[in-house]
Structure 1
Amino acid sequence: MDHALIESTLGGLAAANSRELERRCDRIASSYVREQVEPQFDVNSADFERDPFLICADRYWNHRFRDEPTLVTAVACAAWLAEHVAAAVHEPIREKWALGYAFITRDSVESAGEIADATGDIVAADDSSCNKAYFATLYHAGKLRADLYFDELALFLDASPLAMAAGPHRDSVLFRALRAFAAFGSRRATAEYARELFDKVWTDPERTYAAVDVALNGLALSVEFDGLGVLLRDRATEAVALYPDSHILHYRLAAGRLMCGEHDDALVSIDTALRLLPAIGWRVSHELLQGQYLARREAIEVARVQARRAAAEREDAERIKDEIAKLAETVRGSVVKVIEGVSIFAAIIAFAVGSLNISLNGNLSLGGRLWIIASFGGGLLLFALLVVGGTWAIVHRLSRPARE
């Protein structure tokens, strides 16, 4: 292949529109794959949208991983990165490639034997073995993450010879983010342990975009614990402030707001994620992510409708309760008034009848009659007061809970 001509062609694509750039770069990458030759140009930026050299290299390795989704390919990719990618942009490209290619080949998780064989080859290779082992570790860990194999991921990161061969890279912020992801989803790890790992990642001044994404992904998939929704919402808000153009972070924020019952805000976040999701690129990933986002949007809409319906039902229940309480109070007042009236009327009738009998009795003197009438009337008055007072006290006690 004429490598000089390809470099010249790629250099001339800098002004092409995005679709033309994608198409032309993919054609060149496919020719490299057919000829079984690796690209010889260098990559000096991490601009996956406009740099023709990076886009072509990305397409080339995408084809390679799809054709042979193995650790052998991962090692070859790591070697190419070390030789052709500028040191200033090496880390973001390595993280994006390792996890991205793992996602598109997540249905091809290698066995323990295959991992052991690859590890032996890597360790025996050369002085750059730890860099190759690190890329291969991220690639395999990315497959386990994409398949939600939480316990297997934790075991692989903590005990696999391949992960051990990564050496000092084991302390990288992305490596620790993957451990936090595994802990959040595992039912063997405690929420406190998972949050401890997460906080170390989140407060690390060297945290990368990939580490932020992986850590939030684990939090969003976590086994339920107190404060999960609030923590996800708050941390995703911070992440969106750092990376406002990331559709996946807006998607995480939508999930956190949904957990917190903030349905209107969640709808804004998921719509932003859909708007930012690129309409170009590898269609499988785009369609898969778009399906996930639309499903989350539908869940938010359903939850919002249910919340509004529940709120309306609560308002109706409170209104009916108030009306019943008012009606009961009115009925109690009416009963008290009736009892009071009957008691007083009965006392008057009894007094009138009793007084008439005493007045018609000619055997008593006038003073005696007046004394008897006064005593009899006082007794009836006291009786009426006791009946009225007792009725009021009973009704007041029964109506107190309703008022409270």
Structure 2
Amino acid sequence: MVSHRRLAVADPAAPLTDGGFNPHARAVHIGTLTLENGAALPDVVMTYECWGELNDDASNAVLVEHALTGDSHVVGPVGPGQPTAGWWPGLIGPGAPLDTDELFVVAINVLGGCRGSTGPMSLAPDGRVWGGRFPHVSVRDQARAEARVADALGIAHFHTVIGGSFGGMRAAEWVATFPHRVQRALVVASCAAAGADQIAWGHTQVRAIEADPDFRGGGYLEQGVFPTSGLGLARQIAHTSYRSAHELQERFGRESQGADRTLDGGLFAVESYLEHHAAKLVARFDAMSYVRLTQAMATHDVGRGRGGIEPALRVFGVSSSSPRSTPIGCSRSVPPPTSSGLTGADGCVSSTRRTVTTVSSSKPTRSRRSCARSSPGRSRPRRAASVPWRDGGRSRHLG
């Protein structure tokens, strides 16, 4: 069973001190967030990790957005309170593509997630775990919550916003919602609006979790059970959708797993691959968070209420020749359909292939804020949130 410990909320400069949480993560209280659907989500806490130093005019900040089952731990090893290694190794650090000798890099655990930010495992105002009562949130809500974190850190605009997959959706939403706060955007294997096939794949995953008898309407934590089978099946569906038929055939073919005899009911190699990823996710992720985040992805549409995708992104200046936006596709994964791609004013879509080696800025001077691990800062306890502590293996898939 996933335990639900209380997490002391600290000021933006202070690390979390709860013994079961990643000691490099930090948290900020952003207050009540009014959601797109009109609901009010109270006492919202957002957790993040950061690297490097913010310069005097806060012009060197970069936001990295994680994917569906990722978190704010972009780089770094497994450790106390952190069951997975960084999901984008080599991206951040001195001399890395996001060079911390020049840049201040922030990664925020998404609203509705399960690595410290307010989500289904957090405590509701009545003192009980939200569980299935946690409200539906949209990608736009999540971007707005992240903007409040930026406000708390003194970041008026980002030098660059980077995201892949679900993280790319939030990066695209930043472009559409806060064009004045984003200088450049790097959107990887994502889209400006979720298409029907993406919504359909997500729907089957949600239904797989909800069909597990231990789901209990999302109230499993209070009843001491966990929908292991449902979440595992959802992950297997997801991993099938991430890979093209060609790649699956090339990697696995009809090979059996080890000495297993498939004629006697043994596993094919591709089946073992799916079972492996299911077991890893179940050990480290919350099922209700998976449901709410998958449902959030279905809401993604930067053109909603803005006259469509093209007008929404034209404000930012997205075009095939725009230096401010770089959509990147993935050659081996199943790409988002062109109809829902990152379409700009002149038809720039997410199938564009680009190679990006570095993101550069001016050198920081007289640091305003540092993420040095040796500077713990001063903690101010606030309202508690709850987080999962399921041990699990490493996973570096963007999903």
TM-score (norm 1): 0.24
Higher RCO (CA 8 Å, separation ≥ 6 residues): 2
Give 1 or 2: higher strand fraction.
Answer: 2
Give 1 or 2: higher helix fraction.
Answer: 1
Please tell me whether Structure 1 or Structure 2 has the larger radius of gyration of its CA atoms.
1
TM-score (norm 2): 0.24
